[in-house]
Structure 1
């Protein structure tokens, strides 16, 4: 069967599910999500004037800096988001630290408001080079704390491999937080579950993904058509506990806004990631590793392995939390970042 026929079949299948009794379970699940109470914060509303940073291969990155002129600490905190998300995912962290410390947020290449990179640029190593470019452009001097979630944590690890001197006791980076992430051994097919219609992700391989990417507009159409199902899948795979409906819809909006072609470009790099031998350099500075025990995408075992490979690191396991622990346990995550910033500021002040 050709690609067009398979996609057409998937579209028909999605439409059929939405129109038949098979949707009853999905509808009931969505009503359960909708009944949850919680913080109805205006997600996506926290922004500052944009900067544009051009990468070494010419991709314009969207960067925002929250200045804190009265901050007691000279440290700048740079937040690096994950796969198929954008800088808005740091909503609770941005709200918590705004005005207290200088913070930097940016959209990774081909994500959010940043420009699309070439297919060959969809690698973790390139993301590490992009991060170096952001640091050079908006934090040319002074100490930096790096905070990465999921693919953002992998980006920081790539930077550590490419530029270990930045993480030395007298280097620019004075602290790191690695959240719901890994340095290798990842099954990237699990990351696709909230991103690809189930009928299209069954038994997926790199070659199949490349084929689907060529028909990415049709795949994106399937994703939109199956939005109710996608919301339920996002709830199941992004979170561990029952979170407010607004959290689920916020994450689903970010995932849905990421073109499938971008999803496909980064897939091989996830599978090939193998950098555990390069994380030891992070042991020279305060490093905090945070993971949810119910994370279905980057399981807590990845956090534990990072902890075992980074001397002196702090491991925080958020009981029952899923992959989007930065939302689900934002209070606990922010408290950990407070402690990291205190340790990093003390260390940088002692230089």
Structure 2
């Protein structure tokens, strides 16, 4: 059956939102073959989790080029019944809580990716959540500033503004993990590298569903020829959709059966609640198509193998799903091996967990596993005696 031009643009836009432009074949049979299945999937099976409702104290941090970065700071709090949160903080409680946890989200998502981790850690730990430029509530920069290296510099700015003193543990999902690597490349002293000394404040790192490079190995779980076709055509497709982003964004926000199917396929590998699929799709659809298009070429330039030696100077935990189609488990295995190769002793070896039935968006799909990885890093920091708290 025929599909309108607007519909095609909307579906393609949703597909690239999860780096799946090459998987959007078969528009003509979308309604007839998968529409009914998705509508059945969307039937509520349990009370929906209130995703995106947990909030911290909002701040705007200005990046080096003036772009406003939206940040929320949370920490030990006393909860109240009713509509609001009581924000009475105690400096003593915050200090006793240990390192500040700084969460960096992934491509085309925003800080609410960390919904479960905020609920788990904010009551007892000082936590910082931020939206990367062009994502969530942050302002967008110029197209040329939408790069992984720039958001690494943005992370440095956030650290200097929000937690200029004291220890931090960095947690990054997908492009957020790449952001941490970009920070380490420019500021190895934060991790105890060259001229570290008193500047060494990063005490641990959690890398979730990410990669140090080798973007040409990405297959999206497609057959070899289809994957090669995607690698050749994706840059042009992204550029085209970016130029027509107004129409694409409008139709993406309207939502489609195929968009939710692609979100489910590329974000999750297990049976997650329909509300979680919808929430993730809404995050993806809220990221402007031209921002997505701007960032896409930067992935092929992301090669941070040499930076792993810097990360290896602090406790690192790596976690990935065994069915991650975007950053497959062998990327994590390779990163862990590279860190182990430069580690001076057993205490510096990278922890590695491959989560069964895990897709790409582990913080939402398998929050307990991600929480455990964070707790392991905190325990290693404490046992190593590197934390100043």
Which of these residues, 127, 132, 137, is aligned with residue 103 of structure 1? 127
Listed one character per residue, the Cα deviations across residues 245-287 of structure 1 (whole Å, up to 9, x for unaligned) are 1111110000000110010000110122111111111111110
Superposition TM-score, scaled by structure 2 size: 0.80
Query: Residue in 1 aligned with 2:170?
Result: 146
Instruction: Note closer, same or farther for the CA distance 1:57–1:292 as it changes in structure 2 (3 Å cut).
Output: same
132-141 vs 201-210, greater mean Cα deviation: 201-210
Contact 1:7 / 1:219 at 8 angstroms: preserved in 2? no
Partner Cα distance (1:203, 1:129) in 2: 30
- What is the aligned partner in structure 1 of residue 85 from structure 2? none
Q: Contact (CA 8 Å) 2:167, 2:388: kept in 1 or not?
A: no
- Going from structure 1 to structure 2, the CA distance change for 1:11 and 1:134 (only over 3 Å counts) comes to closer
Give the deviation of 1:22 after TM superposition. 4.5
Match of 2:240 among 195, 205, 211: 211
- CA 1:159–1:10: 2 relative to 1, 3 Å: same
The alignment's C-alpha RMSD in Å is 2.7
Are 2:151 and 1:114 equivalent residues in the alignment? Answer: no
> Could you tell me which residue of structure 1 aligns to residue 350 of structure 2?
313
Unaligned runs of 5+ in 2: 13-24, 77-89, 223-229, 341-348
Q: Aligned equivalents of 2:361 and 2:312: distance in 1?
A: 25
Instruction: Give the CA deviation at 1:52.
Output: 0.7
Match of 1:348 in 2: 386
Question: Does residue 56 of the first structure (1) align with residue 64 of the second (2)?
Answer: yes
What is the distance in 1 between the residues matched to 2:181 and 2:166?
21
| Residue equivalent to 2:117 | 93
Match of 1:237 in 2: 266
Deviation by residue 1:269-324 (Cα, 9 ceiling, x = unmatched): 01221111111111111100000000011111111111011121100110110001
Check conservation: 1:188, 1:271, Cα contact below 8 A. no
Alignment of 1:128-277 (within 5 A): 128-168=152-192, 170=197, 171-187=200-216, 204-224=233-253, 227-277=256-306
How far residue 38 of structure 1 moved from its aligned partner, in angstroms, is 5.3
1:342 deviates by 1.8
2:330 match: 301
SS at match of 1:310: helix
| 8 Å Cα contact 1:148-1:154 kept in structure 2 | yes
Spell out the pairing of 1:52-91 with structure 2 (5 A cutoff): 52-68=60-76, 69=90, 70-71=93-94, 72-91=96-115
Please tell me whether the aligned partners of residues 127 and 155 of structure 1 are also in contact (alpha carbons under 8 angstroms).
yes
Question: For 1:95-151, what per-residue CA distance to the aligned partner results, in whole angstroms no more than 9, with x for missing partners?
Answer: 001221100000000000000111111111101100000000001000000000000
| Residue of structure 1 aligned with 2:51, choices 43, 53, 58 | 43
Whether the aligned pair in 1 keeps the contact of 2:99 and 2:387 (CA below 8 Å) is: no
Q: Give the Cα separation in 2 of the matches to 1:189 and 1:215.
A: 26
| Partners of 1:65 and 1:104 within 8 A in 2 | yes
**More divergent stretch after superposition (63-72 vs 263-272):** 63-72
The DSSP-based 3-state class of the residue aligned with 1:212 is helix
Which digits, 9 at most, give the CA deviation of each residue in 1:45-85, with x for residues without a partner? 01122111100111000000002232423310000000000
> Are 1:75 and 1:345, in contact at CA under 8 Å, matched by a contact in 2?
no
Paired with 1:19 and 1:276, the residues of 2 have a C-alpha distance of 39
Whole-angstrom CA distance in 1 between matches of 2:216 and 2:293: 14
Distance in structure 2 (CA, Å) of the matches to 1:35 and 1:8: 27
Gaps in structure 1 of 5+ consecutive residues? 1-5, 194-200
**Separation in structure 2 between the aligned mates of residue 102 and residue 13 of structure 1, nearest angstrom:** 40
Aligned length: 336
Instruction: Please identify, of 89-98 and 34-43, the stretch whose mean Cα deviation from structure 2 is larger.
Output: 34-43
Question: Could you tell me which of 320, 328, 335 is aligned with 2:372?
Answer: 335
- Distance change (3 Å), C-alpha of 1:184 and 1:41: same
